[in-house]
């Protein structure tokens, strides 16, 4: 045991020294919305990066400085390549080269709202085949408390090496907010957890090269931190959506209520209603905890209720569309031409993951509507796991003539670069789920319905 402690301490000492001198190679598995900005942060800190992805198109795009993520521009990819510190590959055998390996892979839910950690398992096995002494492996994907300890560590130890002695393992959840101009990877503190002091030192030294690490006692605490952040958002978004429905019945505008509440300088944080939840975090992560809690015979009624509230919002939006068509033109959804404005899950990004717009289009089509979409950032719908039937669907040309041909326009995503004045001038009916048309309420209020 004494020898193992000495070995782990030496492991940490060597790694920390390399981190301080920037003499590291960081391997990043998964070059998507999390992995690519993370690679850029390390490169900007003077550290070599080996990016690995199974998608040859992504690897080729990086090499040719052709972006596939809107807010990571071609120029930023060019600068990354020009440093000589960025290399992307699909060659799994090269995973033996990095000093640190960061896993940024998907962790979706299955149809039963249960965690699908197959990507984590598969990636861990790929690492295990090439794992060498001295490396640190860190999972960044959001998951349930215990994943790193109960799933990742045993798979890695199938290599014959021992965690905490021959190699290190830690957990540090991603905190990316795509499209947010106020924060990037290097300006957001990084929660980091590991189960031994030498491993904590290694993980802290790694992330200190790009941002401010916030250390927690162990991996499962760090895993719980990420879930808590997203559950906080889920519960408050559910609350404001429920209040929206309640206040509508009293002829009170929730947006006016929120503006009034925001005037209080303490004890209140503004959350906003919408057509449902989107993105890879809030619609998914809280249910990792509900699943894990059941294994410990604990209930999560509050979280599940919040989930039920937000999952029901698209239905309320569709009913508002039906009401508006009936009142405005004595039409039903069946047979009507409806344009959904905004396909991304939030404004300013091209990220469609779990977007409520997809559910809205599906529900409208099920009720017999002819549905098109417009999104300045998504000209063509790529393949999606939940809605493969929309693959290849193209955004319309945004013209007055086209807009006037629809019975209703449903604003699902409030991109800033959309000409909303043209919409209110051209469309006979607009269903606004984001309060995007607030300034047109007086001049065009007769054709705008909030949902």
- Known catalytic residue at 281: yes
Tell me which of 100, 224, 281, 403 is the catalytic residue: 281
Cα–Cα distance, 372 to 392 (Å, whole number): 12
Cα–Cα distance, 311 to 73 (Å, whole number): 33
Q: What residues contact residue 119 under an 8 Å CB cut-off, 6+ apart?
A: 105, 106, 107, 141
- HEC states along the chain? CHHHHHHHHHHHHHHHHHHHCCCCEEEEECCCCCHHHHHHHHHHCCCEEEEECCCHHHHHHHHCCCCCECCECHHHHHHHHHCCCEEEECCHHHHHCCCEEEECCCCCECCCCCECCHHHHHHHHHHHHHCCCCCEEEECCCCCCCHHHHHHHHHHHCCCCCECCCEEEEECCCCCCCCCCCCCHHHCCEEEECCCHHHHHHHHHHHCCCCCEEEECCHHHHHHHHHHHHHHHHHHHHHHHHHHHHHHCCCCCHHHHHHHHHCCCCCCCCCCCCCCCCCCCCCCCHHHHHHHHHHCCCCCHHHHHHHHHHHCHHHHHHHHHHHHHHHHHCCCCCCCEEEEECCCCCCCCCCCCCCHHHHHHHHHHHCCCEEEEECCCCCECCCCCCCHHHCCCECCCCCHHHHCCCCEEEECCCCCCCCHHHHHHHCCCEEECCCCCHHHHHHHHHHEEEC
Catalytic positions: 281
């Amino acid at each position: 045991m004494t020898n193992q402690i000495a070995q782990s301490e030496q492991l940490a000492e060597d790694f920390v020294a390399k981190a301080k001198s920037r003499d590291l190679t960081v391997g990043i598995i998964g070059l998507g919305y999390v992995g690519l900005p993370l690679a850029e942060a390390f490169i900007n800190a003077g550290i070599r990066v080996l990016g690995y992805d199974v998608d040859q198109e992504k690897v080729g795009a990086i090499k040719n400085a052709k972006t596939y993520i809107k807010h990571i521009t071609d120029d930023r990819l060019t600068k990354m390549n020009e440093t000589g510190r960025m290399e992307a590959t699909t060659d799994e055998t090269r995973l033996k080269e990095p000093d640190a390996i960061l896993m940024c892979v998907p962790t979706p839910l299955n149809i039963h709202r249960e965690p699908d950690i197959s990507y984590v398992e598969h990636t861990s096995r790929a690492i295990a085949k090439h794992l060498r002494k001295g490396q640190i492996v860190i999972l960044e994907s959001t998951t349930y408390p215990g994943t790193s300890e109960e799933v990742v560590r045993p798979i890695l130890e199938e290599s014959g090496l021992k965690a905490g002695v021959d190699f290190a393992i830690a957990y540090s959840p991603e905190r990316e907010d795509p499209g947010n101009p106020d924060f990037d990877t290097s300006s957001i503190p990084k929660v980091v957890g590991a189960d031994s002091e030498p491993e904590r030192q290694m993980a802290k030294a790694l992330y200190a090269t790009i941002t401010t690490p916030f250390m927690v006692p162990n991996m499962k605490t760090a895993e719980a931190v990420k879930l808590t952040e997203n559950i906080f958002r889920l519960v408050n978004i559910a609350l404001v959506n429920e209040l929206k429905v309640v206040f509508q019945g009293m002829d009170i505008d929730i947006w006016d209520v929120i503006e009034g509440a925001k005037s209080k300088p303490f004890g209140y944080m503004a959350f906003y209603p919408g057509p449902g939840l989107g993105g890879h975090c809030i619609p998914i992560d809280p249910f990792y905890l509900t699943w894990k809690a059941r294994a410990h015979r604990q209930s999560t009624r509050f979280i599940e209720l919040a989930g039920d509230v937000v999952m029901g919002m698209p239905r309320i939006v569709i009913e508002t569309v039906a009401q508006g068509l009936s009142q405005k033109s004595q039409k039903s959804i069946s047979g009507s031409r409806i344009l959904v404005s905004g396909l991304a899950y939030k404004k300013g990004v091209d990220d469609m993951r779990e977007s409520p717009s997809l559910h809205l289009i599906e529900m409208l089509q099920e009720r017999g509507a002819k549905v098109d979409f417009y999104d300045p950032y998504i000209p063509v719908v790529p393949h999606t796991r939940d809605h493969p039937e929309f693959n290849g669907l193209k955004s319309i040309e945004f013209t007055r003539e086209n807009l006037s041909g629809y019975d209703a326009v449903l604003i699902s995503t409030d991109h800033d670069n959309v000409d909303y004045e043209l919409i209110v001038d051209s469309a006979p009916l607009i269903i606004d789920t984001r309060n995007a048309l607030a300034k047109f309420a007086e001049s065009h209020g007769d054709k705008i319905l909030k949902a």
